[in-house]
Amino acid sequence: MLTCAKQRKSSLEDIPPQVAIRNYLEKYGFNGQLLKEDLDSKTKVSVVIPVYNEAGVITRCLQALNEQFYNAFEVVVVDNGSTDETLKEIENFSRQASYPLYVIEEHTPGVAAARKRGMDEVLSRLLKRGREFHHVLVVTDADVIPPKEWLEKIIVGLGCHRHGGLAGTHKASEEVEEKIHKATGIRNYFNIIPSLIEFIEKRGVGEIKMSGPNSAFTAVSYALGGGIKQEFSSDGKPKLSEVNNLGNRIRQCGYEIIPMWCQVVKNRRRELFEIINNCEDSYFPKSFSSSGRFNVIRENEVELLSFACNNVSKETWEYYRYKMIYKVLWNFVLQPFALGKKTEEQVREILTVKEIDTLLSSYSPLTNFPNNQYTHEFFRDLLSRLERVLQL
C-alpha cells in the first residue's frame, strides 16, 4: 500500500490515478456502491452535500446549483437520517434540476461520515467508469448558496496538476448584514471575517484552512490523502475539522492547497444562536450524545435574526464579533507564528507589534469582559484599522 511519506514526488507524476483510487477504496472506502447510475463520461465535477433535517434550506442550495455557469457536474446528496421533510423537498426539486441529482443514505451518525459516504460513492463510480480520472470532488453544506461562477472557478483552480485542493470562504447574506446594521449600527458584522481571511491569504501571511461549506479536491489527491476521517476529542465529541485535516494530509503528499477566491453565502443560524444564548459552541448543546447526528442548530435564520436584533444588547454583539476576529487571527496568523512557521516580519503585514504582543498574551484581551474597558478600546481600535485596510 502506498504511503504519503513515499509519495511526495511520485504522487504527482508516477502513480496511475486508477491505482491511487483503487488503493484508497480497498483500504478506507465504504463497502458496496449504493447508486446504480454510472458516472457519465461528460461529468467532470461531483458536488457532495450532507443533509440532516434541512427542509428549510436545501431547495435554495439546489436552485443555486441550477444556475451555475459550468454545467458538467452532478450532485450527490447524502441523507444522515432526516426526520423532517428534507427528502420530500429534494424529490420535489428534482423535477426541475438541470443536472443529475442523486440521494443516498448514510446511517453512521455525523457529518464526516455523510461526507465520506458521498465521496466514496463518487470514487467507486469513477473507478468503474475506467477513464478520465481527473475528476473534481466538491464539498458544501445544505445551508449554502453558491454564486453562479462557483463551479467554473473551481474547475479553473484545479486545472494545474500540482493543485490538490481549493479552500474557500463563506459570508452572510446582504439581508442579514443590513438588518444587523440597522439594529446595532455595525456594518459588515459577519462579512469582515471572509474579507480578513482573503486579505491574509493574499499577503501570504496565514496558513490556509479548508472547511466543509466551501472546499474542493481532485479525486486523486483526495484518495492519496486518505479521504475524510472522523476524529474525536477526549470526551467523545466529534471534532469538526475533518475537511481541513484532509487538506493537511494532501499537502503532505506533495500537493498544494490554494485559495478558491470565491465566497459562498452561508446561513448564520449557529452564530445567531450563540449570540442570543451567550454560548461558546452551539455545535454541542447540553443534550449532546455521541449517538447524535449533526448536533448543530436547525432553527430558522430569519426568526433567530429578528429575535437577536430586538433583544441582544450592542455590547453582546460587539463581544461576539471580537471573539470571531480573535479566532481568525489566532488560527490563521498567530498560531503559525507561535509555532515558528511565520516570522514577525510576515505577521507585521497584518498586525502592529503592540497588537501581536497583546493578542499573544494568554487570551488576556477577552478576560473579564464586559467589565474590562481595555477590551473594548483595544478591539475597537483594531477593528477600525482592519476595516480601513480591508476597505470595508
Asked whether the beta carbons of 155 and 45 are under 8 A apart, the reply is yes
Write down the pLDDT at residue 254: 92
Contact by Cβ (8 Å): 311, 276: yes
Backbone angles phi, psi at 265, to 5 degrees: -90, 130
Does 292 score more than 70 pLDDT?
Answer: no
Predicted confidence band of residue 358 (pLDDT cuts 50, 70, 90): confident
Question: How far, in Å, CA of 195 to CA of 184, rounded?
Answer: 20
- Residue 46 to residue 27: CA distance in whole angstroms: 22
Find how far residue 258's CA is from the centre of its chain.
14
CA distance 243 to 260: 15
Which CATH superfamily groups domain 4-168+210-267? Spore Coat Polysaccharide Biosynthesis Protein SpsA; Chain A (3.90.550.10)
Domain boundaries, the chain: 4-168+210-267
Helix 86-94 to helix 58-66 angle (10° resolution) is: 20
Q: Where are the alpha helices (DSSP H) in the chain?
A: 10-13, 17-28, 58-66, 86-94, 111-129, 150-157, 174-184, 192-203, 219-224, 242-252, 269-277, 301-311, 314-329, 335-338, 344-347, 353-359, 373-390
Averaged pLDDT for residues 56-66: 97
Question: Which residues lie closer than 8 Å to 115 by C-beta, 6 or more apart?
Answer: 48, 50, 78, 139, 212, 228, 242, 243
Task: Specify the pLDDT at position 238.
Answer: 76
**pLDDT score at 33:** 79
Coil, helix or strand at residue 139: strand
Helices 17-28 and 111-129 cross at an angle (nearest 10°) of 140
Q: What is the pLDDT of residues 163-203, one digit of tens each?
A: 999 999 999 999 999 999 999 999 999 999 999 999 999 98
- Residue type (1 letter), 114: A
So what's the pLDDT on residue 13?
A: 53
In this prediction, residue 31 carries a pLDDT of 74
109 half-sphere exposure, CB direction, 13 A CA radius: 12
The Cα 98–Cα 35 span in angstroms is 19
Q: Region 205-209: what's the mean pLDDT?
A: 82
Of 24-33, 208-217, 279-288, which has the strongest mean pLDDT?
A: 208-217
Exposure string over 162-176, b if 16+ CB within 10 A, otherwise e: ebbbbbbbbbbbeeb
Report the 3 state secondary structure along 2-19: CCHHHCCCHHHHCCCHHH
- Is the pLDDT assigned to residue 88 strictly greater than 80? yes
382 neighbors 373 (Cβ within 8 angstroms): no
Cβ–Cβ < 8 Å for 214, 260: yes
CA nearest 68: which of 145, 184, 147? 147
pTM for the complete prediction?
Answer: 0.91
Residue 204, pLDDT score? 86
Q: Which three cell numbers stand for residue 363?
A: 487570551
Looking at beta carbons, which pairs linking 239-248 to residues 24 or more positions away fall under 8 Å? Answer: 240/283, 242/111, 242/112, 242/115, 242/212, 243/115, 243/139, 243/210, 243/211, 243/212, 243/215, 244/209, 244/210, 244/211, 246/210, 246/217, 246/222, 247/165, 247/167, 247/208, 247/209, 247/210, 247/215
Cβ partners under 8 Å of residue 366, min gap 6? 322, 323, 326, 375
Mean pLDDT of 339-345: 89
Taking Cα atoms as reference points, which of 196, 194, 191, 193 lies closest to residue 172? 191
The dihedral of CA 219, 221, 222, 227: what is its sign?
A: positive
